[in-house]
């Protein structure tokens, strides 16, 4: 069938019919420097089924890919695994065009879609572990509440050992390749970690429980088809292991220094801390928020043991980029970090305490602070070095205790 875009076969019955967004660079505050994909899947069985849709502007692309396999009006069922608009934004148009027999979502998904669209469309709520037959294949639904929205669910095809995992195991990575094994592993790990840190981190403690539950329920997947990025069909053990590792947020001796600066004084303190950590043998990342994006800083924290946050005082406040970063980080709730606050000031110097308080309220164990009036002198530099050494000793002691 001639079509502007083509579907990509995944299994005998399942096709990828999603869309590639090469140009997106900001996904609700997350810098998506490699774009993304919105994955939707077509299941060709007696009951033809569409799993998820795509972000609204990409509806024509999804439709064209479906048309390369089947007339969209032949689709009988639509399943919405996740109500967020990058997957449900074109659901109303899809329903209007397709007029499916049935639309399914989790009970929370049904409510969320209603709250989004204020529509008269009837969406049938499915229960956790409920099954529906498509003919040769059977779909089974698993609620995955708070991974990462209350409505989120997985859809499982036992006969094909295929798990539609919605956002879980996804990544923001636009590519002409549909399968993870066609892409460099380093890129998959880098973008997978960034996605985990910026989307799933607040719910990390739920992930080992979910993976264990999937094992107990016999979901021995051979294909994981997420809603963003490539599809995994090889070495799924490594994919799960990476999720368990990121969920644990086990601290290492890596230290992240994040700051901004007005007249280079806070920058000089940052460099002094960096120098001392280097001398003490720590891997260090230095990120100036003037050029580093908040989502890259969070990614660096995934395997860090400590964070040092520096801000000048501007009009009695912390610098705006620090307020931005600390607000973002507080929502993502990174765990198990030690910390320091530092910064420069001219006459009042509130920013350092504000930074320390913000770190403490997000669960960072703040060991001290270092500030300088106008310009760091030798006494301030010495104080910085001592503080860095104290932090290093505390971190090493913590790592030794396991
Ligand atoms: Fe990809 Fe939670 O949406």
Contact 125, 94 (CB under 8 A): no
* Closest residue CA from atom 1 of ligand 1: 167
Return the SS3 of 59: helix
Instruction: Quote the CA–CA distance of 166 and 153 in Å, as a whole number.
Output: 7
Same domain, 234 and 113: yes
* Ligand 1: centre distance to CA 387 (Å): 41
Same domain, 47 and 64: yes
Is residue 3 a part of any domain in this protein? no
Is residue 95 a part of any domain in this protein? yes
Q: Which of 37, 39, 48 is nearest to 13 (CA)?
A: 48
Residue 139: partners with Cβ closer than 8 Å, 6 or more residues away: 43, 49, 79, 131, 132, 155, 156, 157
> What residues does ligand 1 touch, defined as CB less than 6 Å away?
82, 84, 86-87, 148-149, 167, 227-228
Contact 332, 202 (CB under 8 A): yes
- Domain containing 293 equals 255-396
Same domain, 23 and 154: yes
* Closest residue CA from atom 2 of ligand 1: 84
CATH of the domain at 220: 3.60.15.10
Q: Which of 175, 162, 167 is nearest to 232 (CA)?
A: 162
Element containing residue 341 per DSSP (H, E): strand 338-345
What's the pLDDT at 1?
A: 54
Structure tokens of 346? 């001219």
275 by Cβ neighbours in 10 Å (0-12 / 13-18 / 19+) ranks as middle
Instruction: Quote the CA–CA distance of 260 and 337 in Å, as a whole number.
Output: 20
Ligand 1, residue 167: give the atom nearest the CA: 1
Q: Per-residue DSSP letters for 261-299? A: -SSSHHHHHHHHHHHHHHHTT--EEEEETTTS-HHHHHH
Is residue 1 a part of any domain in this protein? no
What torsion, rounded to 10 degrees, do the Cα atoms 169, 172, 177, 178 define?
40
Same domain, 297 and 351: yes
Residue 401: partners with Cβ closer than 8 Å, 6 or more residues away: none
Contact 168, 226 (CB under 8 A): yes
Same domain, 220 and 269: no
Mean pLDDT by 10 residues, the chain (402 residues): 86 98 97 98 98 98 98 98 98 98 98 97 97 98 95 97 97 98 98 98 96 93 98 96 97 98 98 98 98 98 98 97 98 97 96 98 97 96 97 98 88
Task: Describe the chain by its helix, strand, coil percentages, rounded to 5.
Answer: 40, 25, 40
Instruction: Quote the CA–CA distance of 11 and 163 in Å, as a whole number.
Output: 12
* Ligand 1: centre distance to CA 167 (Å): 5
* Ligand 1: centre distance to CA 137 (Å): 26
Read off the pLDDT of residues 36-88 as tens digits, 9 standing for 90 and up: 999 999 999 999 999 999 999 999 999 999 999 999 999 999 999 999 999 99
Return the SS3 of 14: strand
What's the pLDDT at 16?
A: 98
What's the pLDDT at 2?
A: 61
Same domain, 237 and 321: no
Same domain, 124 and 229: yes
Domain boundary among 226, 248, 270: 248
Same domain, 211 and 314: no
Is residue 221 a part of any domain in this protein? yes
Residue 360: partners with Cβ closer than 8 Å, 6 or more residues away: 366
Domain boundary among 227, 248, 269: 248
* Ligand 1: centre distance to CA 58 (Å): 15
Beta bridge partners of 344: 372
Structure tokens of 236? 């799924």
Domain boundary among 248, 263, 296: 248
Read off the pLDDT of residues 321-358 as tens digits, 9 standing for 90 and up: 999 999 999 999 999 999 999 999 999 999 999 999 99
DSSP state of 206: H
**C-alpha distances in angstroms, 99 versus 81, 148, 228, 237?**
18, 29, 26, 39
Same domain, 85 and 184: yes
Structure tokens of 114? 């209603």
Same domain, 79 and 208: yes
Is residue 2 a part of any domain in this protein? no
Same domain, 226 and 282: no
CATH of the domain at 308: 3.40.50.360
Ligand 1, residue 170: give the atom nearest the CA: 1
What's the pLDDT at 3?
A: 75
Q: Report the number of distinct structural domains present in the chain.
A: 2
Same domain, 205 and 81: yes
* Closest residue CA from atom 3 of ligand 1: 84
Is residue 180 a part of any domain in this protein? yes
Return the SS3 of 211: helix
What's the pLDDT at 248?
A: 96
> Catalytic residue positions?
28, 82, 84, 86, 148, 167, 195, 228
DSSP state of 249: T
Read off the pLDDT of residues 172-184 as tens digits, 9 standing for 90 and up: 999 999 999 999 9
Is residue 97 a part of any domain in this protein? yes
Is residue 224 a part of any domain in this protein? yes
* Ligand 1: centre distance to CA 367 (Å): 37
Return the SS3 of 304: coil
């Amino acid at each position: 069938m001639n079509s502007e875009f083509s579907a990509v076969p995944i299994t005998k019955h399942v096709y990828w019919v999603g869309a590639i967004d090469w140009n997106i660079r900001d996904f609700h505050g997350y810098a998506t420097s490699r774009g993304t994909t919105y994955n939707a899947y077509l299941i060709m069985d007696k009951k033809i089924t569409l799993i998820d849709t795509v972000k609204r502007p990409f509806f024509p692309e999804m439709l064209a890919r479906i048309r390369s396999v089947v007339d969209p009006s032949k689709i009988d069922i639509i399943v919405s695994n996740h109500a967020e608009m990058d997957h449900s934004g074109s659901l109303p148009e899809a329903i209007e065009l397709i007029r499916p027999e049935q639309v399914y979502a989790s009970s929370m998904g049904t409510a969320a879609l209603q709250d989004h669209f204020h529509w008269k469309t009837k969406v049938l709520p499915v229960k956790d572990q409920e099954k529906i037959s498509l003919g040769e294949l059977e779909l089974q639904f698993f609620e995955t509440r708070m991974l990462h929205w209350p409505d989120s669910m997985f859809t499982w095809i036992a006969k094909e050992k295929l798990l539609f995992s919605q956002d879980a195991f996804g990544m923001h990575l636009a590519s002409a390749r549909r399968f993870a094994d066609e892409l460099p592993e380093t890129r998959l790990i880098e973008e997978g970690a960034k996605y985990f840190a910026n989307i799933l981190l607040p719910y990390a403690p739920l992930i080992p429980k979910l993976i264990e539950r999937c094992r107990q329920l016999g979901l021995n997947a051979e294909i994981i088809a997420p809603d963003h990025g490539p599809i995994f069909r090889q070495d799924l053990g490594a994919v799960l292991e990476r999720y368990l590792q990121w969920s644990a947020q086990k601290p290492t001796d890596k230290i992240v220094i994040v700051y901004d600066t007005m007249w280079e004084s806070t920058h000089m303190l940052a460099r002094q801390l960096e120098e001392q950590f280097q001398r003490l043998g720590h891997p260090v990342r230095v990120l100036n928020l003037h050029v580093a994006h908040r989502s890259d800083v969070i990614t660096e924290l995934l395997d860090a043991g400590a964070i040092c946050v520096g801000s000048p005082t501007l009009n009695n406040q912390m610098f705006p980029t620090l307020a931005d970063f600390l607000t973002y980080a507080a929502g993502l709730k990174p765990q198990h970090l030690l910390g320091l606050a530092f910064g420069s000031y001219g006459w009042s110097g509130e920013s350092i305490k504000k930074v320390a308080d913000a770190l403490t309220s997000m669960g960072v164990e703040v060991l001290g602070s270092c500030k300088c009036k106008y310009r760091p002198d030798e006494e301030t530099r010495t104080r910085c070095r001592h503080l860095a050494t104290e932090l290093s000793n505390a971190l090493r002691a913590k790592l030794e205790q396991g």
